[in-house]
Amino acid sequence: MVLIQTIDADTLVTLSRDRQPRISSTQSSHKIKAYGDRYNTDPIPKYTLSEQGVSSDAAYNLIKDELNLDGSTILNLASFVNTWIPPQADELVQQNANKNLIDTDEYPSTHILHSRCVSIIASMWNSPSAKNTIGTATTGSSEAIQLGGLAMKRVWQAKRKAAGKSIHEPGPNIVMGANAQVALEKFARYFEVECRLVPVDESTCYRMDAARAMEYVDENTIGIYVILGSTYSGHYEPVDELAKLLDEYEAKTGISVPIHVDAASGGFLAPFLQPELVWDFRIPRVVSINTSGHKFGLSYVGVGWVVWRDKSYLPKDLIFELHYLGSVQYTFSLNFSRPAAPIIVQYFNFLHLGREGYRVVALQDQQNARLLSRALENTGYFMVVSDIHRRRGVHSGHGIDSPDIKDYEPGLPVVAFRFTDEFKKAHPDIQQSWIQTLLRAKGWIVPNYQLPPNMDNVEILRVVVRINFTENMVEMLLGDIVSVVQKLLSSETPLHALATLGNVHTNQRPEFKFTAFDQAEVTTGGVTYARPC
């Protein structure tokens, strides 16, 4: 007979307690001083951890004050990243900020929302079987691009091995336009794939030309990255045209080259603005697509998506089986842990907006981008490089005014512009990059970029129109741009003196500044000139 003995937890804890002196409450707390505690008059620790901390209120005040020196997110017209969500979505973020998406056993409902998002996005891109499509959330579209490229590399390696051919000599290559965002080039460098950049220029509307791309394709090409929305000018690249050329190439050579569509921005625009545009899984050669939920998907920063046509294009050696708490989980992303909150916001948007809501937001973005484009051209100071305000198929001259979105050239709500040739000839002392600097003094962040290497003598200013860039803000921005230019032109203003002082011109790329650690390892020959998204 077994006697049940009552175990007293309080007694057990008393017997098990450390015998060394315990930290008293007076030792562990801090005397509260005004505002920033002792850091009111002492320097805050910047590079080493202090022996003692300060109250949570003081830490909050000190950090909040430093962050006040950041620019305003609404005035950051350089970034594609969404900076506003409805207050209800913000509340969901706060309620779920501590959830890790990978912990499916602990957060099964969150995992279900993730799976629904993958299916909805696959359906949006005309997947043959959206419900069974394989895909995942990623930490932004950059990770998604790496996964898409890595899957194509593995498929290529398997085919080479099956044919008894080497996977090392001469090795794999991937083709993309020279207008590619740096994340695409990172894939090639990080995963040891030769990067073949197709030159872009004015004749190709600063995007990859399909016929030119074919000149870089051979039996070692693992795939082609096609960009649905260039970060330079917002142009879509012709996926359908390239697919036809690749079909002809395969018929002649027997070599099949797949397409991965980088729809980081266009993936949440084209389905609602130009549903008739064929660029997605309706094209059999498109094996995978990535997008960014935190751009025109209208989530907060931190979420991207990648979807494959079917499981055959995601090799099994990229899928990890995890046994955890008696269940089996599968993961095929590069990052293990990631916040669940942005995925929850993504599903909130799907419920809240639906197709019609996304279309309304996209149409408003396009309308404001066209307004700014026409207004800039009407100043006489600028020519607009982007084409979304022009008639479809027309890439020069002034824009049109049509009530039908189908009449306009497809593209992102991006306004890329530069000084007219006439302006530059009449005012050679005025550098276009000063516009960026002088607008920054007014709070606006409008970047002045150099185009890809073979076009690096051309600079463009660029504005990304997002959901909270209203017509009123278009008017304010335009007023500040015109004011800056007129002050540079007027001989009675100090800015005119700036324009004439020194008369320094340069079309060289800026010199990169490295840390002492980097200087020992990095040479200028290895620098990739990042094209921020």
Yes or no: say if 487 and 479 are a contact pair by the CB < 8 Å rule: no
**What is the average pLDDT value for the chain, to the nearest integer?**
88
Tell me: pLDDT of 529 over 50: no
- Residue 323's beta-bridge partner residues? 328
Q: What pLDDT digit, counting tens, does each position of 310-366 carry?
A: 999 999 989 887 766 666 777 888 888 889 999 999 999 999 999 999 999 999 999
Q: DSSP string of 331-358? A: E--S-S--BSHHHHHHHHHHHHHHHHHH
Q: What pLDDT digit, counting tens, does each position of 239-267 carry?
A: 999 999 999 999 999 999 999 999 999 99
CATH 3.40.640.10 domain residues, the chain: 92-349
Alpha carbon distance 495, 176 (integer Å): 42
Q: What SS3 state is found at 309? A: coil
Highest mean pLDDT among 101-110, 206-215, 312-321, 326-335: 206-215
Q: What is the pLDDT of residue 528?
A: 37
Q: What pLDDT digit, counting tens, does each position of 79-90 carry?
A: 999 999 999 999
CATH of region 92-349: 3.40.640.10
pLDDT-derived band at 21 (thresholds 50, 70, 90) equals low
21 vs 15, 17, 27, 31, 212, CA distance in Å?
15, 10, 12, 22, 76
Dihedral angle of Cα 248, 291, 393, 202, to the nearest 10 degrees: -90
Tokens representing 527 are: 């620098």
CATH architecture of 367-500: Alpha-Beta Complex (3.90)
Given the structure tokens 């979304």, which residue do they identify? 388
Residues 6+ apart with CB under 8 A from 530: 182
186 vs 174, 192, 300, 441, CA distance in Å?
12, 10, 23, 33
Q: What pLDDT digit, counting tens, does each position of 134-170 carry?
A: 999 999 999 999 999 999 999 999 999 999 999 999 9
Q: What is the pLDDT of residue 495?
A: 67
Residues 6+ apart with CB under 8 A from 405: 273, 274, 363, 366
Q: What is the pLDDT of residue 83?
A: 93
Whether the bond into 170 is cis, omega within 30 of 0: yes
CATH 3.90.1150.160 domain residues, the chain: 367-500
Q: What is the pLDDT of residue 24?
A: 55
